[in-house]
Amino acid sequence: DGGITQSPKYLFRKEGQNVTLSCEQNLNHDAMYWYRQDPGQGLRLIYYSQIVNDFQKGDIAEGYSVSREKKESFPLTVTSAQKNPTAFYLCASKTGTANTGELFFGEGSRLTVL
């Protein structure tokens, strides 16, 4: 079945460590996104990528990095510079032109910093 796979589902990290969250899609979508979700704050955009080898910062990119070497993959690295990384992270993808079409979401990854 086509879809978006995020891994791991749960991740624990010590302060000062970088962690990478995986996002893979087999929907043949061009655009991919990373959102952060905190209770009561909805979804905030971290990074997005419209095509391979290109990505743009969203609203809260500080302390995060991404790469887009393949169309199917858009991994997110949470660096030690991110001051409050404990959150639920959602990856999404879409096809179509810029402001049309719906986002398809993965099941999310919950990161907890100990």
Partner 1 sequence: AQSVTQPDIHITVSEGASLELRCNYSYGATPYLFWYVQSPGQGLQLLLKYFSGDTLVQGIKGFEAEFKRSQSSFNLRKPSVHWSDAAEYFCAAWMDSSYKLIFGSGTRLLVRP
The footprint of partner 1 (CB under 8 A) covers 4, 6, 31, 33, 40-43, 45, 48, 50, 56, 58, 88, 90, 92, 98-100, 102-108, 110
Of 73 and 104, CB closest to partner 1: 104
- Enumerate residues 6+ apart whose C-beta is below 8 A from 57: 47
Of 16 and 42, CB closest to partner 1: 42
Of 17 and 57, CB closest to partner 1: 57
Report how far apart, in Å, the C-alpha atoms of 5 and of each of 35, 38, 59, 73, 99 are: 15, 21, 24, 10, 24
Per-residue tokens: 110: 């919950």
Enumerate the β-bridge partners of residue 112. Answer: 12
- Enumerate residues 6+ apart whose C-beta is below 8 A from 82: 62, 63, 64
Minimum gap (Å) between residue 104 Cβ and partner 1: 8
Minimum gap (Å) between residue 24 Cβ and partner 1: 14
Minimum gap (Å) between residue 80 Cβ and partner 1: 26
Minimum gap (Å) between residue 9 Cβ and partner 1: 8
